[in-house]
Amino acid sequence: MQSDNRDVKNVRSDSKHNAAKGEIALAKIRRAVRGQVIVPGDAAYEESCTVFYGGIDKKPRLVIRPVDAADVAHTVSLARENGLELAVRSGGHSSAGHSLSDGGVVLDLRDMKALHIDPASRTAWAQTGLTAGEYTAAADAYDLATGFGDAASVGIGGITLGGGIGYLVRKHGLTIDSLLAAEVVTADGQVLQVDAETHPDLFWAMRGGGGNFGVATRFQFRLHELGTIMGGMLFLPATPETIAGFIAEAEAAPEELSTIANIMPAPPMPFIPEELYGKMIIFGMMVYAGDSQAGERVVAPFRALAKPLANMLRPMRYPEMYMPEEEGNRPTAAAQTLFLDRVDHGTAQTIIQYLQDSDAGMRVAQLRVLGGAMSRVPVEATAFAHRHSRIMASVAAFYEGPEDRLARQAWVEGFAKALQQSDRGAYVNFLGDEGAERVRSAYPGATWDRLRQVKQRYDPTNLFRLNQNIPPAEQA
């Protein structure tokens, strides 16, 4: 641990002077921040350049692992005053590679994991280096939960700022619908406390606008009562009838039930008969956030759609919904996200046809029925503007190497185009490196204009640009 003697003025002065020589005053940076400062050649450097997805090869000039908001503020000022590109990493799950910078500064929040849960008020203050799995496990000890996504290793910083669609979306809404306040470091190095009353414009923009407006260092969340759930996996044969039926049942179910339907070739899993490997299946993930006996009745119609290939639905604790992740696995995948109005027999046929026509080792169409609590929040209340979207779809194919990537990307784009209906929006957290037009689709109508005004107010030079970027209003 470094000393608290933070000679920031000298760091900034010396950094400006040395930047002209292509150098950074490392000794004084290390005195200014209490966290780790990592540079090429250090033992921790290569691991610091590794993120969740493979195929991302960026080498930052400097990686700083802060321990508090003051460290973050110093790092932001260092990047701004030296003209260095700044990347912010929470869990490192950006498929577009925004968690790293090539030649710039990476602000790696992984050491900021403080969590204070107040079970009496059902609220929690959480630093943004926490993962969804860490937060969820701690809250579960009190029979409480906040909804994030469906992977344990995702950082709570990124998923929250983009909206947060997960296993509790129909019962408790998006992650941002449980966000009460935040601590954020802005581009000028200020540490602000924001909520509905203090800096309300910034608080509005942070709820769905991504990392465009500052570095979130702490969140205050509302916690929801959640004991034992009915949840797990259900495997069914994938036909046009079962796919359309699954979605129809999910739409008709009480909002306590949230589902994810993955339509894909059956992978080699020990509980699936070997003769079914490669056959089209529905790999359903289901959470009934309520009494498990009531949940049993709600999931029964899904089991009745066809004879299950495997039925792993059971009473469980909520953290058990996070599937184990293979250590060291860095997937490379081409993917695209979109919203659908419906999944009828014809849409289901299109899904099966595209999946059958591909020879990718792993390919999938994922369908999530929305609605419920998410849809009851007014569209203008947050920067997430897709409150009335009915179904979120994602199509993906894994690839091996640059040449294979081009073929898989073309298939993904054709698949998404074939599925496109009247809803032309996109979920910002599932966007890859797809260009400005796709970013614009994440923020339709007046939402885009309002976000650009907030961006101009808090980040007029677009320091925070390694994200799905919203340019300041004056940079039309």
> Model confidence over 255-314: pLDDT tens digits?
999 999 999 999 998 988 899 999 999 999 999 999 999 999 999 999 999 999 999 999
pTM of the model: 0.93
What is the C-alpha separation between 102 and 318, in angstroms, rounded? 38
Domain made up of 8-108: CATH architecture? 2-Layer Sandwich (3.30)
Residue 17 has pLDDT above 50, yes or no: no
Residue 432 has pLDDT above 80, yes or no: yes
Q: What is the CA radius of gyration of the chain?
A: 23
Q: CATH 3.40.462.20 spans which residues of the chain?
A: 229-436
What is the C-alpha separation between 435 and 463, in angstroms, rounded? 18
More confident residue, 246 or 327: 246
What is the C-alpha separation between 464 and 100, in angstroms, rounded? 13
Amino acid identity of residue 255, one-letter, is E
Q: How confident is the model at residue 24 (pLDDT cuts 50, 70, 90)?
A: low
Q: What are residue 191's DSSP bridge partners?
A: 185
* Distant-in-sequence, close-in-space partners of 35: CB < 8 Å, separation ≥ 6: 2, 64, 65, 66, 67, 71, 111
> Model confidence over 269-280: pLDDT tens digits?
898 889 999 999
Q: Which of 1-5, 86-90, 226-230, 329-333 has the lowest mean pLDDT?
A: 1-5
Other CB atoms within a 10 A radius of the CB of residue 41 amount to 7
Amino acid identity of residue 313, one-letter, is L
Q: CATH 3.30.43.10 spans which residues of the chain?
A: 8-108
- First-to-last C-alpha distance (Å) of the chain: 44
Tokens of 288: 């009934």
pLDDT at position 3 = 36
CATH 3.30.465.10 matches 115-225+446-458: yes
Residue 95 has pLDDT above 60, yes or no: yes
Question: How far apart, in Å, are the Cα atoms of 87 and each of 96, 106, 310, 467?
Answer: 12, 5, 43, 8
Question: How far apart, in Å, are the Cα atoms of 426 and each of 42, 148, 152, 294?
Answer: 40, 18, 23, 34
Amino acid identity of residue 459, one-letter, is D
pLDDT at position 328 = 79
Tokens of 369: 């029925």
Looking up tokens 């039926």 gives 245
Half-sphere exposure of 90 (CA within 13 A, CB side): 30
CATH 3.40.1350.10 matches 229-436: no
Amino acid identity of residue 246, one-letter, is F
Other CB atoms within a 10 A radius of the CB of residue 100 amount to 23
pLDDT at position 25 = 78
Q: CATH 3.30.465.10 spans which residues of the chain?
A: 115-225+446-458
Residue 7 has pLDDT above 80, yes or no: no
39 DSSP assignment: -
